[in-house]
Amino acid sequence: MTPATDDASAPRVRDHGGGVHSLRVPIPDNPLGHTLVHLLDTGRGPVLVDTGWDDPTAWDALSAGLAACGTSVAEIHGIVITHHHPDHHGLSGRVREASGAWIAMHPADATVVRRTREAEPRLWLDYLAGKLERAGAPEAHIAPLRAAGGTGQLPGLRPAVPDREIVPGELLDLAGRRLRAVWTPGHTPGHTCLHLEETHPAGSPGNGRLFSGDHLLPGITPHIGLYEDPDDTTMTDPLGDYLDSLERVGRLAPAEVLPAHQHAFTGAAERVRELLAHHEQRLAGLLALLAEPLTPWQVAERMEWNRPWEQIPYGSRTIAVSEAESHLRRLVKLGRAEVTPGGEPARYVAV
Binding site for Zn ion (CB under 5 A): 85, 87, 214
Task: With CA atoms as reference, report the closest residue to 26 among 51, 57, 71.
Answer: 57
Min CB(22)–Zn ion separation in Å? 14
3-state SS, residue 219: coil
3-state SS, residue 282: helix
Min CB(85)–Zn ion separation in Å? 4
Contact 2, 262 (CB under 8 A): no
How far is residue 345's CA from residue 293's CA, in Å, rounded to a whole number? 11
Min CB(239)–Zn ion separation in Å? 15
Which residue number is nearest to Zn ion in terms of Cβ? 85
CA angle 24–214–185, rounded 5-degree value: 150
Min CB(269)–Zn ion separation in Å? 22
Helices (H), 195-346: 238-252, 268-289, 296-302, 314-333
Q: State which residue, 239 or 255, has the beta carbon closest to Zn ion.
A: 239
Q: State which residue, 88 or 347, has the beta carbon closest to Zn ion.
A: 88
Min CB(139)–Zn ion separation in Å? 30
Q: For residue 88, what are the CA distances in angstroms to 46, 58, 98, 210, 322?
A: 17, 11, 18, 16, 21
Q: State which residue, 85 or 271, has the beta carbon closest to Zn ion.
A: 85
Min CB(262)–Zn ion separation in Å? 10
How far is residue 350's CA from residue 27's CA, in Å, rounded to a whole number? 40
Contact 37, 12 (CB under 8 A): no
Q: State which residue, 54 or 87, has the beta carbon closest to Zn ion.
A: 87
Q: State which residue, 55 or 87, has the beta carbon closest to Zn ion.
A: 87
How far is residue 319's CA from residue 160's CA, in Å, rounded to a whole number? 24
Min CB(332)–Zn ion separation in Å? 25
Q: State which residue, 46 or 186, has the beta carbon closest to Zn ion.
A: 186
Q: State which residue, 87 or 237, has the beta carbon closest to Zn ion.
A: 87
Min CB(296)–Zn ion separation in Å? 21
Q: State which residue, 81 or 299, has the beta carbon closest to Zn ion.
A: 81
Amino acid occupying residue 121: P
Instruction: Report residue 86 CA to chain centroid gap.
Output: 9
Q: State which residue, 245 or 298, has the beta carbon closest to Zn ion.
A: 245
Task: Give the burial string for 4-30 (b: 16+ CB within 10 Å, else e).
Answer: bebeeeeeebbebebbbbbbbbbbeee
CA distance from start to end of the chain? 30
Task: With CA atoms as reference, report the closest residue to 162 among 218, 264, 82.
Answer: 82
3-state SS, residue 349: strand
Min CB(42)–Zn ion separation in Å? 24
